[in-house]
């Protein structure tokens, strides 16, 4: 662990912990960046933090369903309005709307539950290479930027808070059609606080980093191509068990279908020991422009 890694993670955690203005009203900000719009995982994670602040700590998120409505502007604050829909005997529900310039850019429904025991089963983790020896995304993109200056926008600095490593990276300039699956190992770049809610929020942030590109793999084109108009349309997650994001985790993604300029993606997130701790789903816009 380097001091720069710890600083990047601290900066990201501070970014995701939005400011509480009133009982159910919060304000978030975005980092300085070259990307023209706010990273979807950031808005998702900030909305989760706002909702979690209004729920007793013993109740943890077990599922969320969200929609990205408009592109967020990085140079403007985001207002989060939390609606306390229900506080039941064992479940709590919150709805959050993220607003910029008086318009909703994102909404989410989140369900929280008291811990309970019950039946258990899971799909086994795929047999894949471990993270050791794989090049990190940070090193990969720094190499790309040095070899092709000005060709790609710099990734948000907050991405350096995550050590992510792809096991089957595509060629940016000559993408070949292949099976619609991909796998990524990841962990926080330094030690996280022990608060479980922060690990859930960080996992949601990371889960959006590679997801949508899965549906492009069967096609001879990548999301970086200027002919592709791409955007996340929604994002869903189900949390199955406890985990730590500062330990290695494996994200296995597949895309069962794309049609009507939309690509469907599914994901399973495992601990390094093979426990399935979260499931994800997302549909993305992948429109081919003239």
Cβ atoms 184, 249 nearer than 8 A? no
Judged on CB neighbours under 10 Å (0-12, 13-18, 19+), 226 is: exposed
Of 209, 169, 192, the closest CA to residue 243 belongs to: 192
CB atoms near residue 284 (< 10 Å)? 27
Q: Which pair of tokens denotes residue 79?
A: 């207002």
Of 266, 288, 11, the closest CA to residue 156 belongs to: 11
Q: Which pair of tokens denotes residue 140?
A: 């990969």
Q: Could you tell me whether strands 25-28 and 19-22 are parallel, antiparallel, or unpaired per DSSP bridges?
A: antiparallel
Which among 208, 213, 258, 268 is annotated as catalytic? Answer: 208
Active site residue 282: yes
Mention every residue, 6+ apart, whose C-beta is less than 8 A from residue 243: 199, 203, 249, 271, 275, 277, 278
Which among 232, 255, 258, 268 is annotated as catalytic? Answer: 232
Active site residue 232: yes
Which among 100, 111, 213, 282 is annotated as catalytic? Answer: 282
- Residue 50 CA: distances (Å) to CA of 2, 8, 55, 94, 210: 30, 22, 10, 10, 24
d(CA 280, CA 239): 9
Cβ atoms 135, 165 nearer than 8 A? yes
Active site residue 136: no
Q: Which residues are designated catalytic? A: 208, 232, 282
């Amino acid at each position: 662990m380097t001091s720069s890694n710890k600083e990047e993670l601290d900066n990201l955690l501070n970014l995701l912990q939005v400011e509480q203005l009133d009982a159910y009203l919060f304000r978030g900000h975005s980092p300085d960046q070259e990307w023209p719009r706010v990273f979807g995982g950031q808005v998702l994670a900030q909305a989760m933090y706002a909702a979690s602040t209004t729920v007793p700590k013993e109740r943890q998120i077990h599922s969320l369903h969200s929609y990205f409505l408009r592109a967020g502007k990085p140079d403007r604050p985001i207002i989060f309005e939390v609606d306390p829909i229900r506080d039941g005997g064992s479940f709590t529900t919150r709805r959050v709307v993220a607003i910029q310039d008086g318009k909703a850019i994102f909404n989410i429904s989140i369900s929280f539950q008291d811990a309970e025991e019950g039946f258990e089963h899971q799909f086994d983790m795929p047999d894949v290479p471990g993270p050791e020896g794989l090049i990190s995304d940070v090193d990969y993109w720094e190499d790309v930027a040095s070899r092709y200056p000005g060709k790609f926008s710099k990734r948000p600095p907050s991405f350096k808070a995550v050590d992510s490593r792809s096991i089957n990276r595509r060629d940016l300039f000559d993408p070949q059609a292949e099976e619609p699956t991909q796998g990524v190992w990841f962990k926080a770049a330094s030690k996280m606080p022990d608060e479980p809610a922060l690990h859930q929020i960080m996992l949601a942030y990371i889960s959006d980093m590679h997801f949508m590109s899965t549906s492009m793999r069967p096609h001879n084109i990548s999301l970086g191509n200027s002919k592709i108009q791409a955007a996340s349309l929604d994002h869903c997650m189900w949390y199955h068990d406890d985990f730590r994001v500062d330990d290695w985790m494996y994200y296995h993604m597949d895309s069962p279908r794309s049609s009507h300029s939309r690509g469907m993606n599914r994901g399973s997130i495992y601990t390094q020991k093979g426990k399935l701790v979260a499931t994800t789903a997302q549909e993305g816009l992948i429109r081919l422009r003239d």
